[in-house]
Structure 1
């Protein structure tokens, strides 16, 4: 299905959001993916799979972004603890009569 050799800014945004979605849509095309979804849903007797897939994808991204925010917060806390320890060491040396 890949017809074009150029990638638009919209596709870059889609890739940034979810590389898997971008790849399969680029490989098969949106219409073919919808047909495959409908075929699979009929075979498995599923009803509203598009919204179910949306919820699964949304859950995936929420977990990913939660972990990203957790790592960023851990880094900030580590820097603050290091600064507090350095300041505490400075104060202790200055006022304990050692400096």
Structure 2
């Protein structure tokens, strides 16, 4: 028979992450650990700490590439604007 009441610990888990609470209720903690281990093995990772580190490193590498690209595009746009201003400035004095 299923338990009809929730403990304070379960309520705390639910408020932290309803999905985690739900899946733990459906599958059980041991099955979730087994599924997580299987998932990490498919990715070629040994433990969750390593997995989190590798994902975080990839995230920051991508973010830094985007940052550098935006800076480069900003510099190119500024240079193009300066060239256009110079061209218009020169054209004013050439036609006079």
TM-score (norm 2): 0.50
Partner of 1:8: none
Whether 2:35 is the aligned partner of 1:36: answer: yes
Partner of 1:67: 65
Rounded Cα–Cα distance in structure 1 between residues aligned with 2:36 and 2:77: 48
Partner of 2:55: 57
Rounded Cα–Cα distance in structure 2 between residues aligned with 1:71 and 1:33: 40
Q: Tell me which of the two structures has the higher relative contact order, counting C-alpha pairs closer than 8 angstroms and 6 or more residues apart.
A: 1
Partner of 2:87: 89
Rounded Cα–Cα distance in structure 2 between residues aligned with 1:37 and 1:91: 65
Rounded Cα–Cα distance in structure 1 between residues aligned with 2:33 and 2:75: 46
Rounded Cα–Cα distance in structure 2 between residues aligned with 1:58 and 1:84: 39
Rounded Cα–Cα distance in structure 1 between residues aligned with 2:63 and 2:95: 47
Gaps of 5+ in 2: 1-18
- TM-superposed deviation, 1:82: 1.3
The CA RMSD over aligned residues, in Å, is 3.2
TM-score (norm 1): 0.49
Which is higher, the Rg of structure 1 or of structure 2? 2
